[in-house]
């Protein structure tokens, strides 16, 4: 359906499927009209960037070459109890000094949580118990999920509001449940005439029922952040991203929530809300090989996925920053171990940073000390998961030192990974680079080549990425890195979509913790499953860790 270019053979001779990709350097392939240029300028997108995006859409970059999963003793660290007290002491010191902050990507819509409900309603019309049971016997995967939803209705945090909405329509909620008539429940849950949760951001959804009422994930994140971030003078810094259409609602909700959280936790917040910069939007490609356009003939722009939030993280100018998914937060009666592991991950990062910065200063200040160089290379492999490229040992000492300093002078992240139990999402893998070496990366299914061997490696992952990480964004002199310099632009996603009934190939920027952090120094630390509380579907709110004990 879409024009593509053949892949070039891999000069490294690995498989022929994973060639270096460089769409730059060629003359422009697209002529833009004056109106197109005006629309690009309005978003802050340079003409060269627009042309680069279209080149990628026409000839997508090759997928990453997975070497093997990261596993314990091979890229995944299991912290020893003897290390934990020292790591926690480092965390406590940095927290008291006010070096910590939280970055929460919260632009996602709640609509994905209701995919089964919306799909079944559109496909089958009425949502009734008898029909659902019949469809379940026929193998409809959505039917079982909706029956679980119906059985769990009284346990959802939005149940009371939904019941009140039914009564305003003259309907008897108890009778509807008794008769197995679920259509009104579904319609009022999702439509503008009711709770309209299908249009809500996940961050502002009712999530947990507590004694005082109902909490959203945003409020739960603020409560946890206060416990983790509060400095010696009581300050907590939090940065939340929102979609443009919901930014005002986020700020309004923060205005309501923050005074209550500050009273409960005896702290004060420096809370910021940012939106995805329009300059990070991407073009689409039509089936004719030209830029996709809307009904008015103007260029079609789309948000470029959570990788676009790398710009927001960069502009926040943090020091030691926690990053986690907005929905990964348990009910207060099941506190789990998330806060403790946040502290441990930060302590590990701070310990690694201190040793790393010390070696950077020594390598630069003692350029002829070969013993120091050899010790730094050993440290790189042992502590930093940096694999020296083939032939490195045969190079002259000045070349080795230059290479090592460049590898040391990068942002650092320490990522929790949990035992793989088949949850949808990515995991930690060793990925081959152009120099023949391998580096630890977070890889998601959408990035993996349509190749049996690569798919087998992906399925053999021992660990999963719950998106609980801490990152160090400053160098040994205390200056913030330019994070864009450490992203892999070739780790972009392309996908086929239907927009306005027409096929369109769309482009997403390298994911925030995938290609967006591909050239960071990455450490994976095994954490218990108790740190992971995902809510991917509405029925996940029925899990014990999201219900009152």
Please say whether the dihedral angle defined by the alpha carbons of residues 424, 425, 430 and 433, taken in this order, is positive or negative.
positive
DSSP string, 82-140: HHHHHHHHHHHHHHHTT-EEEEEE---BGGGGGHHHHHHHHHHSS-BHHHHHHHHHTT-
Q: HEC profile for 237-272?
A: EEEEEECHHHHHHHHHHHHHHHHHHHHHHCCEEEEE
Range from 20-29, 308-317, 381-390, 495-504 carrying the lowest mean pLDDT: 20-29
pLDDT confidence tier of residue 11, bands split at 50, 70 and 90? very low
Of 511, 78, 189, 527, the residue nearest 328 (C-alpha) = 527
| Mean pLDDT computed over 181-196 | 95
Question: CA 539 from chain center: how many Å?
Answer: 21
- Give residue 460's pLDDT: 94
156 located within any domain? yes
Per-residue pLDDT tens for 384-440?
999 888 888 899 999 999 999 999 999 999 999 999 987 777 999 999 987 777 899
- Give residue 434's pLDDT: 74
Contact 524, 415 (CB under 8 A): yes
Per-residue pLDDT tens for 448-499?
999 999 999 999 999 999 999 999 999 999 999 999 999 998 888 888 998 8
Contact 520, 431 (CB under 8 A): no
Contact 309, 512 (CB under 8 A): yes
pLDDT at 12 over 70: no
150 located within any domain? yes
- Give residue 88's pLDDT: 94
- Give residue 30's pLDDT: 66
Q: HEC profile for 481-521?
A: CCHHHHCCHHHCEEEEEEECCEEEEEEECCCCCCHHHCCCE
Q: How many domains does the chain have?
A: 1
- Give residue 347's pLDDT: 97
pLDDT at 260 over 90: yes
Helix or strand holding residue 1 (H, E): none
pLDDT confidence tier of residue 368, bands split at 50, 70 and 90? confident
295 located within any domain? no
| Mean pLDDT computed over 287-304 | 93
For the chain, the average pLDDT equals 90
187 located within any domain? yes
Q: Find tokens 């290390």 and name the residue.
A: 83
Per-residue pLDDT tens for 189-238?
999 999 999 999 999 999 999 999 999 999 999 999 999 999 999 999 99
133 located within any domain? yes
Helix or strand holding residue 283 (H, E): strand 282-283
pLDDT at 339 over 90: no
69 located within any domain? no
* C-alpha–C-alpha distance, residues 66 and 426, integer Å: 13
Instruction: Pick the most confident of 20-34, 146-160, 390-404.
Output: 146-160
Q: Phi and psi (nearest 5°) for 115?
A: -60, -45
186 located within any domain? yes
Q: Find tokens 């000390």 and name the residue.
A: 369
Work out the percent of the chain whose per-residue pLDDT is above 90: 79
Residues facing 235 on adjacent strands: 268
DSSP string, 19-61: ------SSPP--PPPHHHHHHHHHHT--HHHHHHHHHHHHSPP
Largest CA distance in the chain: 85
> Rg (Cα) of the chain, in Å, rounded?
25
| Mean pLDDT computed over 172-199 | 95
For 397, how many CA atoms within 13 A lie in the half-sphere containing its CB? 13
pLDDT at 26 over 50: no
- Give residue 514's pLDDT: 93
424 DSSP 8-state letter = S
- Give residue 367's pLDDT: 84
Question: In sequence order, what are the residues at sequence separation of 6 or more whose Cβ sits closer than 8 angstroms to the Cβ of residue 168?
Answer: none
| Mean pLDDT computed over 44-69 | 93
Q: Tell me the CA distances in angstroms from 20 to 238, 262, 489, one per residue in order.
A: 38, 51, 12
Residue 192 sits in which domain range? 112-199
Range from 2-16, 68-82, 121-135, 250-264 carrying the lowest mean pLDDT: 2-16
Residues facing 414 on adjacent strands: 470, 523
Q: Tell me the CA distances in angstroms from 441 to 227, 296, 352, 426, 448, one per residue in order.
A: 30, 41, 18, 10, 12
Question: What is the distance in angstroms between the CA of the first residue and the CA of the last residue of the chain?
Answer: 52
Q: Tell me the CA distances in angstroms from 208 to 222, 343, 508, one per residue in order.
A: 14, 24, 32
pLDDT confidence tier of residue 275, bands split at 50, 70 and 90? very high
Number of continuous H segments (helices) and E segments (strands) in the chain: 16, 20
180 located within any domain? yes
- Give residue 6's pLDDT: 28
Helix or strand holding residue 347 (H, E): helix 338-365
Burial environment of residue 373 by CB neighbours within 10 A (0 to 12, 13 to 18, 19 or more): buried
pLDDT at 137 over 90: yes
């Amino acid at each position: 359906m879409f024009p593509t270019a053949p892949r070039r053979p891999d000069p490294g001779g690995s498989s022929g499927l994973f060639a270096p990709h460089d769409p730059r350097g060629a003359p422009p392939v697209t002529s833009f009209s004056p109106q197109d240029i005006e629309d690009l300028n309005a978003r802050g997108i340079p003409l060269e960037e627009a042309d680069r995006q279209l080149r990628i859409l026409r000839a997508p970059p090759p997928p990453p070459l997975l070497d093997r999963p990261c596993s314990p003793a091979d890229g995944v660290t299991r912290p020893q109890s003897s290390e934990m007290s020292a790591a926690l002491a480092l965390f406590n010191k940095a927290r008291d000094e006010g070096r910590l902050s939280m970055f929460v990507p919260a632009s996602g819509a709640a609509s994905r949580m209701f995919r089964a409900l919306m799909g079944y309603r559109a496909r089958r019309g009425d949502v009734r118990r008898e029909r659902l049971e019949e469809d379940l016997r026929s193998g409809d995967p959505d039917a079982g999920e909706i029956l679980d939803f119906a059985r769990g209705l009284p346990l959802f945090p939005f149940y009371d509001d939904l019941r009140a909405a039914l009564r305003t329509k003259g309907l008897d909620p108890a009778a509807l449940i008794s008769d197995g008539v679920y259509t009104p429940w579904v319609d009022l849950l999702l439509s503008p005439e009711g709770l309209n949760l299908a249009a809500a951001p996940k961050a502002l959804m009712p999530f947990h029922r507590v004694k005082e009422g109902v909490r959203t994930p945003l409020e739960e994140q603020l409560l946890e952040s206060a416990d983790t971030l509060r400095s010696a003078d009581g300050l907590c810094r939090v940065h939340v991203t929102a979609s443009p259409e919901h930014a005002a609602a986020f700020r309004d909700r923060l205005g309501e929530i923050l005074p209550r959280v500050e009273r409960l936790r005896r702290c004060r917040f420096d809370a910021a809300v940012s939106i995805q910069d329009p300059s990070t939007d991407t073009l689409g490609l039509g089936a004719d090989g030209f830029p996709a356009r809307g009904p008015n003939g103007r260029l079609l722009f789309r948000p470029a996925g959570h990788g676009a939030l790398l710009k927001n993280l960069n502009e926040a100018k943090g020091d030691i920053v926690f990053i986690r998914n907005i929905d990964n937060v348990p009910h207060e009666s099941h506190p789990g171990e998330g806060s403790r592991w946040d502290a441990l991950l930060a302590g590990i990062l701070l310990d690694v940073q201190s040793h790393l910065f010390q070696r950077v200063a020594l390598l630069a200040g003692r350029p002829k000390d070969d013993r120091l160089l050899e010790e730094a290379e050993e440290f790189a492999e042992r502590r930093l998961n940096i694999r020296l490229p083939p032939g490195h040992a045969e190079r002259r000492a000045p070349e080795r030192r230059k290479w090592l300093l460049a590898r040391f002078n990068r942002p650092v992240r320490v990522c929790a990974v949990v035992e793989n139990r088949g949850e949808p999402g990515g995991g930690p893998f060793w990925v081959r680079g152009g120099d023949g070496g391998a580096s630890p990366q977070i890889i998601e299914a959408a990035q993996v080549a349509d190749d049996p061997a690569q798919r087998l490696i992906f399925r053999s992952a021992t660990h999963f990425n719950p998106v609980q990480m801490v990152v160090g964004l400053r160098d040994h002199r205390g200056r913030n890195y330019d994070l864009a310099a450490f992203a892999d632009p070739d780790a972009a996603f392309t996908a086929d979509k239907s927009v306005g009934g027409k096929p369109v190939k769309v482009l997403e920027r390298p994911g925030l913790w995938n290609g967006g952090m591909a050239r960071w120094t990455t450490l994976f630390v095994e954490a218990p499953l108790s740190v992971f509380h995902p809510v991917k579907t509405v029925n996940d709110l029925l899990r014990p860790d999201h219900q009152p004990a």
